[in-house]
Structure 1
Amino acid sequence: MSLTRRQVSVAGLGAPLALALTGPAEASGRGRTLYIAGDSTAAQKYADAAPETGWGMALPFLLHRHLTVANHAVNGRSSKSFVDEGRLEVILSSIRPGDLLLVQFAHNDEKTADPSRHTEPWTTYQRYLRLYVDGARARGARPVLATAVERRRFDADGRAVPSHGEYPAAMRALAREERVPLLDVQALSLALWQELGAEKTKTYFNWTATEQDNTHFNPPGAIAVARLVARELLRTRVLAPRDVRRLDDRIPESWITWPESVA
């Protein structure tokens, strides 16, 4: 059954998300739920956006079935606007003891011209992130911070260059201060883009005949970033070996699907 954009949006503002957002990792019984709060790099995409793919769409293929992925990430949101729109409160109304809240923001926090989204790394960004950390802990859930995945940027010498300014450092400092597990996706993705090089990375981002998108992923890119996330969840002992699967296996691109949507 196909879901409309409205139906999936309503799911994202209510109970834990349905199959369109959780993929094949729906729990046996309830199990635990891993909630994602984030932006377009992680979000569910729809048929009108294909082949654009959020890494949250690929993460369920790397987790065992007793873990449900509830992907609440939404295009264009920052740590601030996600809270101001009531989206964090929706998660906190559903999250339960033992669940996980994985938080990745920075891309839109960086937009200085938009006061509805902009935050400053060492002040308002950290203050908003604390709302996620404190909210999860108050409900017996475990917060997890993930530095923002890197854009595809290379200098004239072919070196992958960072694009997120002080935001990753501010998140790392907050994670240390609050003793929150940190997934350093920014550093790992930057290293991966460097390893792949300027040309090969085009096959991981949403480069099409009509678009050259250096921020959002296609299926191979989303799968690669989801693999970084899963490995970090294992490395930081947020998840145990029994919770993850296929870390070294090929994930077929055909497993990625995009629900139909209506305007």
Structure 2
Amino acid sequence: MNTHKWIQNMQRYLRWPNVGLTIVVMACMSFCLLMQHKTTIYMIGDSTMADKSVKAYPETGWGMPFHYFFDSTVVVDNRAQNGRSTRTFIEEGRWKDVLKTLTKGDYVLIEFGHNDEVPTKRSYTPPEAFTANLKTFVEQTREKGAIPILLTPVARRHFDSTGMLIDTHPVYGPLVLQTAKEEAVPCIDLQKLSMDLLRKLGPERSAMLYNQLEPGEHPHYPKGVKDNTHFNELGARKMAEMVLHELCKLDLPIGQHLSPKR
């Protein structure tokens, strides 16, 4: 039934004047437009992606600037948490909470590895379990009609004495790529992208991307900090922009909803 016939039927049923009914219809249509479904991009991962508290500033997760990249039809919901691995993210119910609101057409960006791969951490996840957990994220995302995207873990800044960048994810990075291939999942090789950038900048200049401060330089870190894992604002933005660029190359519908200011 077209809109004109619907209005006529409503007029006969409600016996309202034409002008009054038109106002009501317009109001209803406006309300429906306001309540239209928005696509949500969920981000799950560890501290390299996570939102940070004010007291941690200038430490910045690369997921923090991500919401600026999209128009008003997209919501970015960053669920990444410091110290989490694939295993602890599931065990703590964080993934279950994502599934509660995940709907058809949404996206899930999945970036783990930093905490899974360290045997001395309570978050340690053996390689077989790490792969199984990634597949759980993928399968359950697809069951909801949403789109999973795997990301290899972002690089740490670790140069040797000769100035050569060391790969600190030699096992868990390839496991992500392997899982993406086996499950036919879109994948962004953030490890390679970030390592390429660090090599380009070199041992000295690459420090400007990380949370590195001299004593007394910032009140949050009175003794200074030399962090080669977590980013400052510049580093987070650079990583986020690389992810966005690769996301657009995947030719997914979300690429049509970039902010007009970009």
Normalising to structure 2: TM-score of the pair? 0.80
Q: CA deviation at 1:199?
A: 1.1
CA RMSD in angstroms comes to: 1.8
Amino acid at match of 2:240: A
What's 2:151 paired with?
146
Percent of aligned positions with the same letter in both sequences?
Answer: 36
Q: Map Cα deviations across residues 65-120 of structure 1 (whole Å, 9 max, x no partner).
A: 22111000000000110001000000001100000011000000012023x41122
Q: CA deviation at 1:201?
A: 1.2
Asked if the contact 1:28/1:65 (under 8 Å) is kept, the reply is: no
User: Is 1:219 paired with 2:233?
Assistant: yes
Q: CA deviation at 1:157?
A: 2.2
Amino acid at match of 2:60: T
What's 1:83 paired with?
90
Q: Which stretch shows the higher mean deviation, 31-40 or 155-164? A: 155-164
Amino acid at match of 2:135: R
What's 1:233 paired with?
247
The CA distance in 2 between the partners of 1:226 and 1:33, in whole Å, is 17
Asked if the contact 1:37/1:72 (under 8 Å) is kept, the reply is: yes
Q: CA deviation at 1:155?
A: 1.8
The CA distance in 2 between the partners of 1:178 and 1:243, in whole Å, is 26
Q: CA deviation at 1:208?
A: 1.0
Q: Which stretch shows the higher mean deviation, 233-242 or 184-193? A: 233-242
User: Is 1:94 paired with 2:101?
Assistant: yes
The CA distance in 2 between the partners of 1:74 and 1:31, in whole Å, is 24
- List alignment gaps of at least 5 residues for structure 1: 1-26, 250-263
The CA distance in 1 between the partners of 2:50 and 2:253, in whole Å, is 21
- 2:65 is matched with which residue: 58, 64, 76? 58
What's 1:208 paired with?
213
What's 1:49 paired with?
56
The CA distance in 2 between the partners of 1:201 and 1:64, in whole Å, is 31
Amino acid at match of 1:217: F
The CA distance in 2 between the partners of 1:107 and 1:239, in whole Å, is 30
The CA distance in 2 between the partners of 1:206 and 1:64, in whole Å, is 29
4+ residue segments displaced more than 4 Å: none
Amino acid at match of 1:189: S
Amino acid at match of 1:98: G
How many residue pairs match? The answer is 220
What's 2:220 paired with?
none
The CA distance in 1 between the partners of 2:57 and 2:142, in whole Å, is 36
